[in-house]
Structure 1
Amino acid sequence: MLDGVMLLWWILTVPSFLFVAIDIFRTTPEATVMKWAFIILTAFTGPVGAFFYVLGCREPLKGTHEQYVSVRWRQVLGSTMHCAAGDGIGIIFGSAIGAGLALTLWPDFLLEYVLGFSFGWGYFQAFAMKDMAGGDYLKSLRMTFLPEFLSMNCLMSGMLLVSKFWMPRVSGGDDPGRPEFWFIMSIALLAGFIAAYPMNWWMVSNHMKHGMITVLANERQDDPSSMAGDSASVDRHHAENMSMSHNDETSSVTPTPEAEATMSMPTAAGSLKIRMSIVSVGVLAITLGVVTFFAPMA
């Protein structure tokens, strides 16, 4: 039964991946880092990732992308996609390394968490979006730490519940050399996406994370493949709290003082951010407790 499901999954994944990888660069005026996020997620989630792309990001008619993605749920979809792609790569490959080394639960968890958080925060968040911090990478690291931390904990929780309960029950599920391992981790990534969506909704609503970003043709750098080089025309929903001026000669984003203040101090009150941090850590702690005491041994 599982073999048939996996075969169908991979058969659907190949055309889904090719469609998104080709179409998103040809038709969708989205920030390059978000394009890669959709491509990465589709590589693991196949038709589900393609469905998310068509429903949540693909421009239905030329010139309508900014308006199309301004709806809150699409903004949150983009925010969660960004997290799942960046953190998810680190978590999945951390799991593959841990399985290859036959690590026990806690060393394996720490490896997955460190790799997931490091790649998601250090590259997909801070480096890829550093133009929003005036090109200052260290400032971008400071700006993106808390949003990354909150989202990562929820994503990790969802992925742990699927992978740690399912792998021991499937022959070859804990072997990175077998397709069963990658299928389980693909489903785990989907579960993590679902688990992280509510937290990303809260952060987008409180202007702690961006969602989809429309990049106009005259706002691209000479090298459109650069993930950090997009000069973003932020959608109207987000522009209320993040005003940017654009330099046509350098194609760089220069935040106004008001935008810098907004980006440095998200609108959510400090006490509320502390409470949400406690919620995020609590969700992960409960998940680890459930996995530790109830997940079957490999």
Structure 2
Amino acid sequence: MLTTISWIALAIGIICTIIIAIDVIRHPQMMRIMNIVWPINGWFFGPFAVWAYFKWGRLKAKDANKEDDRNKSAKVFVSASHCAGGCTFGDIVGVPIVAMTGIAIAGSTLFAHYLVEFILAYLFGIAFQFLAIYPMDKDQGVMQSFKKSIKADTLSVITFQIGMFGWMAIVHYLLFTNPPNPSEPSYWFMMQIAMIIGFLVSFPPNWWLVRKGIKEAM
């Protein structure tokens, strides 16, 4: 039953990613990195990501002809989605690295996943933030934009990964006697849930960062 549910969830995520990607190609975002972020979020947020994209994302397309009437919650949601996109990309890249190399820390592959995926999620998260800041701030130079990116996204990335890793620990130690591995659809279904939890955990810090002016409301 879990395998069937996993295949259905993964199929829905892929379909939602394709739907968003096709529309993004037709209606590119003003902020280029969002052309990547929205489809990535479609993979784990599924139909909700499609709804959010057409309700809020399309307002920031280059050819948008509607007034941007989003409230603060919607703008923070997009900011958190931007962070989630970078983290998710890093996590997805990290999984096969650990699986193919067979590395372990203290005899645990879970801890290896934590280390590798955190490093990659942080690097991609900061890179995604840099690609949002630098085009609007070129006069201040690369290093200044890089520093702003670190300041704006470090807390967001850390909290996203805390939420995700917490769910991975539950899966590994509580839900399964034999935890699924990356060759099984149930593993990736658990990862979809992990990304959603990571997003929910990172939303309050993103709200705080925006309120303090450390991070721009997107």
TM bucket, shorter chain: 0.7 to 0.9
Question: Is the contact made by 2:37 and 2:81 (CA closer than 8 Å) also made in structure 1?
Answer: yes
- Residues 81, 193 of structure 1: 8 Å contact kept: yes
- Could you give the per-residue CA deviations for residues 235-256 of structure 1, whole angstroms, max 9, x where no partner exists? xxxxxxxxxxxxxxxxxxxxxx
In the alignment, which residue of structure 1 is the partner of 2:69? 68
Q: Note the residue ranges of structure 1 that are not aligned, 5 or more in a row.
A: 213-298
Residues 227-246 of structure 1 mapped to structure 2, 5 A cutoff: none
In structure 2, what is the Cα distance between the partners aligned to 1:59 and 1:45?
19
Q: 1:254-265 alignment to 2 at 5 Å?
A: none
Measured in 1, the distance between the counterparts of 2:206 and 2:93 equals 23
1:44-59 equivalences in 2 (<5 Å): 44-59=44-59
- The alpha-carbon deviation at position 7 of structure 1 amounts to 2.8
Deviation at 1:173, TM superposition (A): 4.6
Instruction: Call closer, same or farther: CA 1:102–1:165 in 2, change over 3 Å.
Output: farther
Q: Which residue of the partner structure matches residue 81 of structure 1?
A: 81
Q: Once the two structures are superposed, what CA deviation does each residue of 1:196-233 show, in whole Å capped at 9, x if it has no partner?
A: 01111111122222233xxxxxxxxxxxxxxxxxxxxx
- What is the match of residue 17 of structure 2? 17
The amino acid across from 1:67 in the alignment is: D
Q: 1:183 aligns with which of 180, 189, 199?
A: 189
Greater helix fraction, Structure 1 or Structure 2: 2
1:126 alignment counterpart: 130
Query: Structure 2: which 5+ runs fail to align?
Result: none
> What is the Cα-based RMSD across aligned positions, in Å?
2.5
Match of 1:3 in 2: 3
Shift of 1:128: 4.5
Report the equivalent of 1:192: 198
In structure 1, how many angstroms separate the alpha carbons of the residues matched to 2:177 and 2:94? Answer: 20
Query: The residue matched to 2:169 in structure 1 has which SS?
Result: helix
Over 3 Å counting, the alpha-carbon distance change for 1:171 and 1:38 in structure 2 is farther
> More relative contact order in 1 or in 2 (CA 8 Å, sep 6+)?
2
Q: Deviations over 1:252-297 (max 9, x none)?
A: xxxxxxxxxxxxxxxxxxxxxxxxxxxxxxxxxxxxxxxxxxxxxx
Deviation of 1:171 after TM superposition, in Å, equals 7.7
How has the CA–CA distance of structure 1 residues 167 and 92 changed in structure 2, closer, same or farther, with 3 Å as cutoff? farther
Distance change (3 Å), C-alpha of 1:199 and 1:10: same
Q: Structure 2: which amino acid aligns with 1:179? A: P
**Corresponding residue for residue 143 of structure 1:** 148
TM-score by length of 1: 0.63
Identity %: 27
Match of 2:121 among 97, 116, 121: 116
Deviation for aligned residue 1:85:
0.6
Higher CA-based Rg: 1
The CA deviation at 1:170 is: 4.3
Q: CA deviation at 1:137?
A: 1.9
